[in-house]
Amino acid sequence: MYEKAAWLTVRIGLIGIFLSIILGFFCAAILYYKVPVLKRIVTAYIELSRNTPLLVQLFFIYYGLPKVGIKTDAATCGMIGLAFLGGSYMAEAFRSGLEAIDSIQTESALSLGMSKYQVMRYVVLPQAISISIPAFMANVIFLMKETSVFSAISLMDLMFTAKDLIGLYYKTTESLFLLVIFYLLILLPISILGSLLERRLRHAGFGS
């Protein structure tokens, strides 16, 4: 049972994180290039999603939106909720990476005769990515942890299974122990991978 629930947690978490990376990337690009109207919308979106809890967002999507005709099942709702929350965190991580690149880098690259695309591809992005990796990995762990909330919208994830087992058999200690073990199994590798990546990419930093 736990195994199945763990897979569900991982699957929804990964899809949600993937969506949030894409969303975050677009939002960061919009902020970086200062696209006129979209910039306002993105800023508002980031503030809105960063200042409200995921549980409230999920309840709104899952119970509130069907009332105005937008229906989603629990799994889709979970992914959308995670992407909505994660998008803003990812956007912030990417944006801070992009902004950390001094404008002198772009200018020198341009004066070397590189095209705008080349500047982005060979000069700005490699540095920006290596700078934003720590924040990025922290976000991945944070989002993976947030998936525990999904049990509230009756998705059969780890949390839900544990609660179910406690209710059915009254084996509180065993269920909770397994719950902890499974979360460690999911989250520890990500955390270790994160610190490895951070060390590996450190060299790309300039002057630090």
Q: Residue numbers of the site for other proteins (CB under 8 A)? A: 47-48, 50-57, 59-60, 63-69, 141, 145-149, 151-152, 159, 162-163, 166, 172-173, 176, 179-180, 183-184, 187-188, 191
Among candidates 137, 138, 21, which has minimal Cα distance to 83? 21
Name the residue nearer to other proteins (CB basis): 25 or 59: 59
Q: What is the smallest separation between the CB atom of 1 and other proteins, expressed in angstroms?
A: 16
Kindly tell me which of 57 and 123 has the beta carbon lying closer to other proteins: 57
Task: Tell how far CA 156 is from the center of its chain.
Answer: 21
Residue that is written with structure tokens 């992914």 in the block: 79
Residue 92 CA to its chain's centroid (Å)? 11
Helices (H), 51-171: 54-59, 74-99, 103-111, 116-118, 125-146, 158-169
Min dist. Cβ of residue 122 to other proteins (A): 30
Nearer to other proteins, 79 or 158 (CB): 158
Minimum separation from the CB atom of position 124 to other proteins (A): 22
Distance CA 137, CA 141 (A): 6
Residue 113, by phi and psi: left (phi above 0), alpha (psi -120 to 50) or beta? Answer: left
Nearer to other proteins, 31 or 119 (CB): 31
Least distance CB 60 / other proteins (angstroms) = 4
What distance in Å separates the CA atoms of residue 113 and residue 171, rounded to the nearest whole number? 69
Which CB atom, from 112 or from 176, has the smaller least distance to other proteins?
176
Going by C-alpha positions, the residue among 69, 68, 72, 100 that lies closest to residue 84 is: 72
Q: How far is the CB of 91 from other proteins (least distance, A)?
A: 15
Give the nearer residue to other proteins in terms of CB position, either 22 or 188.
188
| CA dihedral over 91, 19, 85, 205, signed as positive or negative | negative
CB of 200 to other proteins, least distance (A): 21
